[in-house]
């Protein structure tokens, strides 16, 4: 294009016009050349381009900018559909938290290129026409290589293999390049070539896979969890941590005996509570209560470096040996954490509770608090049980009894399923694995949090403000039909003609007297539930039996809660003067206000990622705990049945393991899908979901978390497997792993987390 020289720094409009009309990628150098900028003008251009990026006007890197919402002139695209002969692609690097959906480009395929299929990646030139975007392919790219996590092993011939730590990957891979790794080390690898026969090459050595803290490290790498903060985010966090707290714009609540009740090993404290009898004669027997939540929005502002990283992470991830925080530790574990005896910024939710436990009024305010006490759940419960609790604790329990009465009237889903807890010693070794005890202290905090979450949703609705809802939709008909069929198989009834409510499930559970069968029914009900998620459109919360529900109470560890805080800032005029050196607003960004769907979809995904990583890590710890007990017999309960075998869990401990059908002897077992059972053709022996039986632990693999059980014979020995034959050494790629880290596979119920806070 012809060059037009200008005098001085160009305007935003001039830069946008040039970037959009340039025939070649337009980076900072090209822009400076176009407008004849030198010296200090180039430095000013750099600052201007950064401002334009933060304002959402442009996107890209300094070597190639493009209009925000647009597409670079040359970029990598991913084919997402082939519709009626037209190939549709989207930018491969489109970020999940962008405010707008990715543009869909019509690919103008060349006869010289092989036909494109869904999932293919191409390098293409792009153009925006009056009829939308077009892409002209330059070349087809190889499939994107995914990192593989595994342990280096050698076979009998001395050849190196990668034994995967992901139980879903059944085969080991030959290692073409060890990259300095030694046998037994945990490594990251990637394909060494296009063909699987090329094997893999080691790109990073992670160390001893059985060392303390290794199991969570495996989960972090396997699930791609960001765990290292950029220097820019750490520097901004340090600046934010030095922000002065002023009484001028905050309600001073430092004289109230507010308490934080948390797990004994809590890494952060983002909520605290207080209650006292209401002196208002119009509310006889009622309560005034306060839920104080860390005011994270004061420190983490939209568009800043911390905010970008927090959006990417979506939530903190909790492992037995570490936490991967959503925010840098100077904020998450220090300045934002509600520490005992220290002044802290808080978002306060004032609640008026009736004698019947109904929240009749609510009010939000930015506040200054000084936590009177941080108490472990067990200690708080012990004080109440002793009858010697101080007034500030006794009042909390009395107010909670009112809230609990209202909860029972509402009759939310009550699935009291056990949760495993891993206790480590000071060296990071397993000291104990036990089930968490469920105390009234947990219910006290949970019900106060639920009340505040409901108040936040209704407060925003009253102002017609954007709301990040926590949505839990009712079970689908398909899942209800499957649940009915299962109940039929175990002799229970579920009529689908009635209105399905949480109370219906609760009554079914209460009708079961046997503890083992009750646990089985609860797990079946859990499997029938839909996955809870975040979204800007309200569909209610089925599990909690609530019409409007948001997450407000954990902004240190959940980005959804931070968005709710920002919406409250906007709705109720809580904005505070902007400190120097930080983004100016503490409310919602324009991008989030206009379209919450993109970011709520993204944080719903990061939540599921965190749950899977946490669950996988617990499985690995349980397997490690059991490695010294291989050969012992355990009381187990069958949790799932498939054609290839059944899954069982150890009673009181957890740890699901597979019993392969081939290990059940020479008899043929038929899979009765409706009854969820394996049935012996000759003997009629049945292995059905819910059965309790003694099983022998045959294998425990701490790297995959997989267990393998065997049905013992009358002498306690393993039954001779069907078609047993000596093991053969593997001799080529794609053979199943048979070494020290060989794995099984298993199934488990999907988990939903929809209660007040699910805190660790």
Determine the average pLDDT of the residues in 314-321. Answer: 94
Strand partners, 375: 261
pLDDT score of 422 more than 50 = yes
- What angle is formed at CA 406 by the lines to CA 409 and CA 523, rounded to 5 degrees? 60
Are the CB atoms for 371 and 269 separated by under 8 Å?
Answer: yes
pLDDT score of 687 more than 90 = yes
pLDDT score of 627 more than 50 = yes
In this predicted model, what pLDDT tens digit does every residue of 100-157 receive, in sequence order? 567 788 888 765 666 677 677 888 878 777 667 888 888 777 655 456 888 999 988 8
Residue-level pLDDT at 42? 82
Domain 12-67 CATH class label: mainly alpha
Token pair belonging to 330: 């100077």
Residue-level pLDDT at 28? 79
Q: What is the CA radius of gyration of the chain?
A: 29
Quote the mean pLDDT of the chain: 84
pLDDT score of 721 more than 70 = no
Q: Which residues contact 250 (CB under 8 A, 6 or more apart)?
A: 345, 365, 366, 367, 368
DSSP 366: E
Are the CB atoms for 563 and 468 separated by under 8 Å?
Answer: yes
Strand partners, 349: 291, 364
In this predicted model, what pLDDT tens digit does every residue of 42-62 receive, in sequence order? 888 888 887 776 555 565 555
DSSP 330: I
Are the CB atoms for 93 and 76 separated by under 8 Å?
Answer: yes
Instruction: Provide the CB-side half-sphere exposure for 239 (13 A, CA).
Output: 16
Residue-level pLDDT at 511? 87
Are the CB atoms for 265 and 436 separated by under 8 Å?
Answer: no
Are the CB atoms for 67 and 22 separated by under 8 Å?
Answer: no
The superfamily CATH assigns to domain 630-710 is Nucleic acid-binding proteins (2.40.50.140)
Region of 134 on the Ramachandran plot (φ > 0 left; ψ -120 to 50 alpha; else beta): beta
Whether 630-710 and 74-141 are alike in CATH topology: the answer is: yes
Residue of 552 and 605 predicted with greater confidence: 552
Residue-level pLDDT at 166? 80
Question: Quick one: which of 546, 548, 530, 529 has its CA closest to 538?
Answer: 548
For the chain, the domains span: 12-67, 74-141, 151-222, 231-473+533-616, 477-528, 630-710
Domain 74-141 CATH class label: mainly beta
Token pair belonging to 593: 């206000």
């Amino acid at each position: 294009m012809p060059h037009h020289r200008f005098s001085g720094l160009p305007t935003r409009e001039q830069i946008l016009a040039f970037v959009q009309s340039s025939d070649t990628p337009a980076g900072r150098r090209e822009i400076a050349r176009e407008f004849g900028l030198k010296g200090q003008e180039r430095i000013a251009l750099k600052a201007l381009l950064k401002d334009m990026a933060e304002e959402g006007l442009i996107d890209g890197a300094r070597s190639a900018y493009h209009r925000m919402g647009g597409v670079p002139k040359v970029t990598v695209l991913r084919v997402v559909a082939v519709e009626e002969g037209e190939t549709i692609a989207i930018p491969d690097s489109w970020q999940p938290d962008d405010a707008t959906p990715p543009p869909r480009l019509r690919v103008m395929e060349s006869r010289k290129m092989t036909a494109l299929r869904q999932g293919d990646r191409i390098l293409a030139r792009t153009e925006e026409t009056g009829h939308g975007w077009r892409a002209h392919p330059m070349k087809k790219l190889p499939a994107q290589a995914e990192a593989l996590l595994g342990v280096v092993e050698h076979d009998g011939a001395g050849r190196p293999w990668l034994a995967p730590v992901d139980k879903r990957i059944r085969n080991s891979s030959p290692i073409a390049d060890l990259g300095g790794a030694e046998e037994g080390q945990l490594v990251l690898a990637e394909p060494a070539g296009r063909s699987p026969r090329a094997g893999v090459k080691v790109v990073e050595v992670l160390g001893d896979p059985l060392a303390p803290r290794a199991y969570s490290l495996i989960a972090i790498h396997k699930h791609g969890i960001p765990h290292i903060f950029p220097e820019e985010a750490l520097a901004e966090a340090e600046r934010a941590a030095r922000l002065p707290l002023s009484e001028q714009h905050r309600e001073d609540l430092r004289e109230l005996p507010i308490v934080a009740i948390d797990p004994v090993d809590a890494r952060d404290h983002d909520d605290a509570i207080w209650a006292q009898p209401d002196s208002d004669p119009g509310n006889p027997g009622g309560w005034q209560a306060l839920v104080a939540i860390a005011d994270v929005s004061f420190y983490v502002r939209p568009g800043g470096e911390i905010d970008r990283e927090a959006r990417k992470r979506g939530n903190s991830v909790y492992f037995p040996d570490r936490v991967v925080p959503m925010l840098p530790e100077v904020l998450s574990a220090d300045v934002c954490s509600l520490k005992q005896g220290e002044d802290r910024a808080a978002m306060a939710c004032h609640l008026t509770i009736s004698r019947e436990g109904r929240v009749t009024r609510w009010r939000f305010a930015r506040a200054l608090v000084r936590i009177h006490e941080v108490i472990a759940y067990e200690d708080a419960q012990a004080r109440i049980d002793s009858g010697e609790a101080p007034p500030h604790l006794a009042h909390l329990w009395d107010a909670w009894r009112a809230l609990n009465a209202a909860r029972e009237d509402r009759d939310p889903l009550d699935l009291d399923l056990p949760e495993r807890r891993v206790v480590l010693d000071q060296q990071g070794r397993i000291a104990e694995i036990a089930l968490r005890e469920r105390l009234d202290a947990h219910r006290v905090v949970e019900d106060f949090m639920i009340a505040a979450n409901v108040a936040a949703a209704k407060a925003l609705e009253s102002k017609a403000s954007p709301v990040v809802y926590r949505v839990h939709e009712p079970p689908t008909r398909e899942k209800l039909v499957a649940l009915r069929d299962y109940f039929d198989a175990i002799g229970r009834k579920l009529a689908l003609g009635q209105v399905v409510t949480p109370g219906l499930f609760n009554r079914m559970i209460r009708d079961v007297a046997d503890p083992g069968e009750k646990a089985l029914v609860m797990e079946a009900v859990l499997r029938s539930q839909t996955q809870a998620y975040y979204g800007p459109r309200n569909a209610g919360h089925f599990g909690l039996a609530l019409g409007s529900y948001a997450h407000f109470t954990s902004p240190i560890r959940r980005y959804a809660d931070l968005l709710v805080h920002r919406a409250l800032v906007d709705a109720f005029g809580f904005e505070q003067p902007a400190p120097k050196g930080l983004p100016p607003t503490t409310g919602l960004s324009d991008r989030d206000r206009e379209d919450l769907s993109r970011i709520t979809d993204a944080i719903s995904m990061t939540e599921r990622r965190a749950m899977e990583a946490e669950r996988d890590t617990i499985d690995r710890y349980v397997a490690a705990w059991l490695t010294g007990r291989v050969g012992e017999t355990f009381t187990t309960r069958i949790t799932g049945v498939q054609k290839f075998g059944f899954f069982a869990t150890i009673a009181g401990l957890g740890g699901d393991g597979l019993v392969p059908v081939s290990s059940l002897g020479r008899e043929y077992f038929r899979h009765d899908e409706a009854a969820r059972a394996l049935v012996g053709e000759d003997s009629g022996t049945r292995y059905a979901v819910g059965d309790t039986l003694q099983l022998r632990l045959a294998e425990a693999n701490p790297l995959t978390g997989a267990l393998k059980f065997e049905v013992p014979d009358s002498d306690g020995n393993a039954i001779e497997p069907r078609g047993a034959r000596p093991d053969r050494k593997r001799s080529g790629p794609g053979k199943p792993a048979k070494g020290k880290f060989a794995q099984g596979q298993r199934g488990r119920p999907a988990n939903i987390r929809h209660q007040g806070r699910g805190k660790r």
